[in-house]
A and B are shown apart, each in its own frame.
Chain A
Amino acid sequence: MSDDELPREVAPPPPAELKQRLGGFAKVRTRQPWLSFAVVALLAMGWGALSFAVHPVRQDLPWLPVVWVGVVAAVWLLAFVVPLWRVMVPPRGQVLPDERTGELLAFVAAIAVTAVSVLWTRDAPGHSRVPENFVVVAWHCLRFNLLICAGVAAVTVIALRKMMRLSSWRLGAAIGAAGGALGGLMLHFLCPYATPSHVATGHAGGVIVGAALGALLVKVLVR
């Protein structure tokens, strides 16, 4: 249907009362998404980095393969940065974020970190630890992860506060997944437990739980 064929209502001109409610036409600073993204990412990483002030680096780190440490850290970093980027930076020519792609990237991030955790975990025999109580230790790491995730979510939501009202659960899922991935990145350097089952549940699990909680919170709070 062409523009000429679209049903058009004859809209009244902006009423005087609307103009009064608008309260003036001051110049505003428009959004610079890449700058906002950089600021949020840096603040989030700063929040995550605080954990190094509280917890010692994992004791088996010097004995782990450098390439493995680097590559897995890169996977976690990408799982944090990419969904966050999609949330903060809209596609070219658009104002609002591409929530659908954000959701997809969150899903891919969760799959990627879980796969790496299950299929490519390394330990240093004699130096890495094995969890004495699987559930307790996994919960400890998951709780840490969610704390990091909460900080990331808070910074992101503050940056996007005016947009949240227009958002769906998909945005929440992407934010939660990004936060969980940052938590996983921190745990990669802090957590001395190196079994695949622990890393998959306590570390990668944070991405999945973060995404689920993010989706739920946005759905409930933004109605």
Chain B
Amino acid sequence: MGREAELMARYCDGDPASFEGLYALLAPRLLAYLIGIVGERATAEDLLQLTFLKLHQSRDLYVRGADPVPWMYTIAHRTALDELRRRKRARVRVGEEVPASAEPRADLSGSAVEAAPRDEGFSDETLRALQELPESQREALLLTTVQGRSIKEAAAITGSTPTAIKLRAHRAYVTLRKLLGKKEVA
């Protein structure tokens, strides 16, 4: 049983320390994925908390011995999609294009958050370029090339097919290279 599966099993048995262990292990990866999808850290952090809350509420779905990581990515993915759809609906209601990053965000304590410095992760340029990609291509690229999920896992997480994932990831990579004007994407 992998480390994540072990922690998940103990978490389901009621061990709070295992939840923290699982969070420490997976939150950085999930946060990176969510930042790539929604394009900004503050929203991604909120979505990360929501992802773990949904995980907590549905931990009785867990099958002992199974790898919980693809499942958590699926929860994060769907949570991010809900946010993107909510933004689209909000823009339609407002009637004008509002860049997502222009909206002030608050952290869970209620204070406004300024752009937080990152130790590692995407550069601002890469992040902006990612947001230029169609949503489906961005997901495919992030899950496969960036997050290291297999094609099959990425297809399962996004509800797509392996062929579609390969095609989207390839197109995203080509477009990103053009946008960034580099030979290799970091």
Using a CB–CB cutoff of 8 Å, the interface residues on chain A facing chain B are 1-3, 6-15, 17-18, 21-22, 25-33, 90, 93-96, 98-100, 162-163, 165-170, 223
Contacts and interface: CB of A to CB of B under 8 A. Distances in A.
Nearest to A96: B71
Contacts of A93: 65-67
A12 B118 CA distance: 11
Interface of B: 9, 11-16, 19-20, 23-24, 27-32, 35, 41, 44-45, 48-49, 52-53, 56-68, 70-71, 74-75, 78, 85, 107-109, 118-122, 145-148, 155-156, 159, 161, 186
Nearest to B65: A93
A95 B156 contact: no
A98 B162 CA distance: 13
Contacts of B9: 30
Contacts of B74: 96, 166
A31 B120 contact: no
Contacts of A163: 58, 61
Contacts of A25: 11, 14-16, 19
Contact of A22 (B24, B53, B147): B53
Nearest to B13: A27
B169 to A, nearest CB: 13
A14 B63 contact: no
Contact of B63 (A1, A22, A95, A162): A95
Contact of B29 (A6, A12, A18, A31): A6
Given A8-B29, A18-B49, A18-B108, 10 more contacts: A11-B27, A11-B28, A11-B45, A12-B45, A22-B56, A27-B14, A93-B66, A93-B67, A99-B159, A163-B58
Contact of A168 (B108, B109, B147, B159): B159
Contacts of A10: 28, 118-120
A7 B71 CA distance: 20
B12 A30 contact: yes
Contacts of A13: 20, 23-24
B90 to A, nearest CB: 16
Contact of B59 (A2, A3, A28, A33): A28
Contacts of A22: 19, 52-53, 56
Enumerate the 6 nearest inter-chain pairs by beta-carbon distance, A residue then B residue, closest first: A168-B159, A11-B27, A27-B14, A95-B71, A9-B31, A28-B60
